[in-house]
Chain A
């Protein structure tokens, strides 16, 4: 842990600044104690900047870099403003902005369909419904319970300790995500049996060779050093389609996960019936 503290001081500084900013912006225990927002915003922004700066220096293009910074900082800043907003309508709008920024990050990760679906579901449906309920329930303006927060210090400190632990785990040098045991076994069998069996290992190699151009990690000169990492063996990656390709996504969704898709549709039906059954009836009186 001390090694990590010495190796990544920017992460710690960023986390501390960010936590102090969140605590500053949070409504206090007494209603009406309004601190000025500018120092909290500055602290939060500085903490976010240091936190994102400590994540390493990837070799990406300048446009990707700028897009990542804009989307990541706006997503986290909108999240902070959402959980500290006094007015629930503003909180819902900040949440919509955070959703949009998250969808931008999805786009950067070559998930365009997911970005579009998230915008449609969240910004289109969820936020509008939430705003309806807020306006229905709080017609008389700001309520007293929105001006206060319970146990904000404990919650913020423990949450940021958790975030620091996650960051420490992710920034371990020897952490190697993405090499499941199955691959090691397959490589052993592949090395043992000289004529490679055409079943599993061939499929894995095929899945590994279909890496898109968006990931500049695998060095071209040493393909053996970087093991090909397949995902689920029941649906290995299609070598013809890159990750996030809509055609491959739809094919996998409606062939490998067809039962789950049907199940999700059933779940939607059950949830809509349940929402209708739970909602207040008209004969039970108006709201």
Chain B
């Protein structure tokens, strides 16, 4: 193994490690899938380097198959993310923390995201002078109702 091969292997290991950190720390569902893809880049780099060390085509061929499986995985993962999003109206992974192992502690619940507080307080919206008759309360949108029910 020459130093040239060594540094390609180290770059592959670094990409894998970065993907692992991203998968462990991020809370966005899509970013977790993307981090897994970054890990797969590191594996591909290592495979190609090993193929070149051994002077055979097998590294590249196996990487092509890995690419195929990664494409399938991305499609299926996005379908799963969409169906999860339809249920919870958020991409937060912590909303699905009830699927954890029974002996694991519950994650720390944080303040609700500011997308959908559903309480009618809209923060920085401009105030208009009231005029005319007082309208009825606007019906709560489906998205905010679903999100608040999913959080509780």
Chain B neighbourhood of A150, CB < 8 A: 24-25, 27, 107
Tell me the minimal C-beta distance from A180 to chain B in angstroms.
Answer: 8
A79→B28 CA distance, assembly (Å): 16
Whether A268 and B6, one on each chain, are in contact in the complex, defined by CB atoms closer than 8 angstroms, is no
Q: Is the interface of B mostly helix, strand, loop or mixed?
A: helix
Please tell me the number of chain B residues within 8 Å of chain A, measured between CB atoms: 83
Tell me the minimal C-beta distance from B133 to chain A in angstroms.
Answer: 30
Tell me the minimal C-beta distance from B24 to chain A in angstroms.
Answer: 4
A17 sits at the interface (CB 8 A): no
A152→B25 CA distance, assembly (Å): 5
A264 sits at the interface (CB 8 A): yes
How many A-B residue pairs have C-beta atoms within 8 angstroms? Tell me.
298
Whether B48 and A111, one on each chain, are in contact in the complex, defined by CB atoms closer than 8 angstroms, is yes
- Evaluate whether A271 and B72 lie within 8 angstroms (CB atoms) in the complex, with A83-B26, A105-B8 already known: yes
User: Which partner residue on chain B sits nearest A270 by CB separation?
Assistant: B72
Tell me the minimal C-beta distance from A57 to chain B in angstroms.
Answer: 6
Whether A143 and B92, one on each chain, are in contact in the complex, defined by CB atoms closer than 8 angstroms, is yes
A231→B61 CA distance, assembly (Å): 12
Whether B21 and A105, one on each chain, are in contact in the complex, defined by CB atoms closer than 8 angstroms, is no
A91→B11 CA distance, assembly (Å): 20
Whether B6 and A126, one on each chain, are in contact in the complex, defined by CB atoms closer than 8 angstroms, is no
A47→B88 CA distance, assembly (Å): 40
A190 sits at the interface (CB 8 A): no
- Evaluate whether A232 and B58 lie within 8 angstroms (CB atoms) in the complex, with A121-B71, A143-B90, A162-B17 already known: yes
Please tell me the number of chain A residues within 8 Å of chain B, measured between CB atoms: 107
Whether B51 and A55, one on each chain, are in contact in the complex, defined by CB atoms closer than 8 angstroms, is no
Whether B57 and A235, one on each chain, are in contact in the complex, defined by CB atoms closer than 8 angstroms, is yes
Whether A92 and B34, one on each chain, are in contact in the complex, defined by CB atoms closer than 8 angstroms, is yes
- Evaluate whether A215 and B52 lie within 8 angstroms (CB atoms) in the complex, with A166-B13, A280-B86 already known: yes
A175 sits at the interface (CB 8 A): yes
Interface pairs A-B: 6 shortest CB-CB: A56-B3, A231-B56, A83-B22, A55-B7, A271-B72, A155-B24
24 contacts between A and B (CB under 8 A): A52-B7, A55-B7, A72-B7, A83-B19, A83-B35, A91-B31, A102-B41, A114-B44, A118-B44, A130-B74, A137-B85, A137-B91, A140-B116, A144-B110, A144-B111, A144-B112, A163-B17, A167-B13, A207-B55, A237-B55, A243-B57, A252-B58, A271-B76, A280-B82
